[in-house]
């Protein structure tokens, strides 16, 4: 006689499609059942989905089947089975609706594409505010809670310039550098995302309630934790992978060598994202972290041009995906992420774009035609490449997409 666990052997050939239609309330409830179960973090969630092939199969799997998943012992399997069916899912969904919080899963079309690329993306993402296609062009800016006036000034300045150039600024809503970064982006009337280390039913630190409200209006608050989850020291390092994962690169401003900001930088490296650092005074303890990163190869950042130079490779990535993404968007009658009209352009960007069509133009001709300084033209064409509006050709020629 065939054993029961063989008769119901899970399929390993199923794949998930993040671009499918938005999930219904019932479908979200299924994901929450597993998300709220004991012993299920993002890595275990991913293992279970991969092994069984879908959320329904995971929820229906008995203990004997769960223990066959590599890395899941009997105690863990028993805890999952015991708690997955008793989770107060309806309360979580109702509270989300009451507070204006959206619940995204890995299958949602609005789940951030950059975050999907990291080794352990959150299976559930709580969002208050709105995530948009523009947020694929994001930079994280993090640093010390006990920041100096210099550090806060630099964080605010860089965030303001990045937001004005069309980047979304990502940080952690903490005191010091994080708050300065969010405020700098807001002052530029740009977008900013705050990743919390607690549930979105709480704001931490509590004195940032007003700041959080502003962020919701010009971006989003994000967390992977259940709505009522209280702030715990152990959860903040976990959220750092999300900060790095939402971003093309991470800038560190003032941090000690053993700080959370350095953890974010290390995670960015593991995610194959760029790491940048702002130098400081050699006798300042807060400069030790950024200086260490610079010694290890991080890009030294003094101006926004340094950031654009560091992210120059993003233009190549956009080239690889632009055609397919544009085709998909046209099929769905949506604006393409790589459509310059979907992003705010500075006056120099508008001036240069006006001089380009589908015929190559040399950078020296752009300097002549726009009467802009060569340094400004070089920085601006790089910015336009990052936004997917233009493409660089051999010999320093450029053309509109």
Looking at the chain, the domain(s) classified CATH 1.10.10.10 span 314-400
Report the pLDDT averaged over residues 344-368. Answer: 89
Report the pLDDT averaged over residues 267-296. Answer: 94
Q: Is the pLDDT of residue 160 over 90?
A: yes
Alpha-carbon gap, residue 305 to 200, rounded angstroms? 35
Looking at the chain, the domain(s) classified CATH 1.10.150.20 span 4-87
The pLDDT value recorded for residue 11 is 37
Whether the CB-CB separation of 389 and 314 falls below 8 Å is answered with: no
In the chain, % of residues over pLDDT 70: 86
Q: Name the CATH architecture for the domain at 4-87.
A: Orthogonal Bundle (1.10)
In the chain, % of residues over pLDDT 90: 65
Model pTM score: 0.77
Looking at the chain, the domain(s) classified CATH 3.40.50.450 span 113-310
Q: Name the CATH architecture for the domain at 113-310.
A: 3-Layer(aba) Sandwich (3.40)
Alpha-carbon gap, residue 195 to 140, rounded angstroms? 10
Tell me which fold the domain 314-400 belongs to.
Arc Repressor Mutant, subunit A (1.10.10)
Lowest mean pLDDT among 169-178, 294-303, 370-379: 370-379
Whether the CB-CB separation of 58 and 32 falls below 8 Å is answered with: no
The pLDDT value recorded for residue 44 is 93
pLDDT in tens, 243-271: 999 999 999 999 999 899 999 999 999 99
Q: Which two tokens stand for residue 164?
A: 């004005």
Cα–Cα distance list, 267 to 54, 175, 241, 246 (Å): 28, 21, 6, 12
Burial 30-68 (b: 16+ CB within 10 A, else e): bbbbbbbbeebebebbbbbbebbbbbebbbebeeebbbe
Report the pLDDT averaged over residues 310-331. Answer: 52
């Amino acid at each position: 006689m065939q054993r029961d666990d063989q008769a119901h052997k899970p399929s390993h050939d199923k794949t998930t499609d993040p671009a499918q239609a938005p999930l219904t309330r019932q479908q979200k409830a299924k994901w929450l059942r597993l998300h709220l179960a004991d012993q299920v973090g993002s890595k275990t969630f991913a293992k279970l989905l991969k092994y069984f092939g879908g959320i329904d199969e995971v929820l229906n799997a008995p203990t004997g089947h769960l223990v066959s998943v590599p890395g899941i012992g009997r105690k863990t399997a028993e805890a999952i089975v015991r708690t997955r069916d008793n989770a107060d899912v309806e309360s979580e969904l109702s509270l989300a609706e009451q507070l204006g919080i959206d619940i995204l899963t890995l299958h949602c079309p609005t789940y951030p594409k950059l975050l999907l690329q990291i080794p352990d993306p959150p299976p559930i993402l709580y969002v208050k505010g709105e995530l948009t296609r523009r947020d694929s062009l994001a930079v994280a800016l993090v640093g010390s809670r006990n920041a100096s006036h210099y550090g806060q000034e630099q964080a605010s300045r860089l965030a303001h310039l990045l937001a004005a150039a069309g980047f979304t600024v990502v940080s952690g809503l903490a005191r010091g550098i994080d708050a300065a970064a969010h405020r700098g982006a807001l002052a530029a009337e740009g977008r900013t995302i705050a990743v919390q280390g607690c549930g979105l039913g709480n704001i931490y630190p509590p004195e940032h309630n007003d700041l959080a409200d502003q962020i919701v209006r010009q971006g989003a608050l994000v967390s992977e934790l259940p709505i009522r989850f209280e702030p715990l020291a152990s959860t903040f390092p976990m959220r750092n992978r999300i900060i790095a994962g939402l971003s093309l690169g991470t800038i560190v401003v003032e941090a000690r060598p053993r700080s959370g900001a350095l953890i974010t930088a290390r995670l960015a490296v593991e995610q194959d994202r760029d790491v940048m650092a702002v130098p400081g005074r050699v006798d300042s303890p807060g400069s030790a972290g950024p200086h260490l990163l610079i010694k290890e190869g991080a890009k030294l950042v003094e101006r926004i041009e340094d950031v654009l130079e560091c992210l120059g490779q993003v233009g190549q990535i956009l080239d690889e995906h632009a055609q397919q993404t544009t085709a998909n968007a046209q099929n769905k009658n949506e604006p393409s992420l790589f459509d310059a009209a979907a992003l705010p352009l500075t006056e120099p960007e508008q001036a240069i774009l006006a001089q380009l069509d589908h015929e190559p133009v040399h950078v020296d001709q752009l300097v002549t035609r726009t009467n802009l300084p060569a340094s400004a033209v070089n920085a601006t064409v790089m910015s336009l490449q990052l936004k997917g509006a233009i493409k660089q050709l051999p010999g320093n020629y450029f053309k509109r997409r």
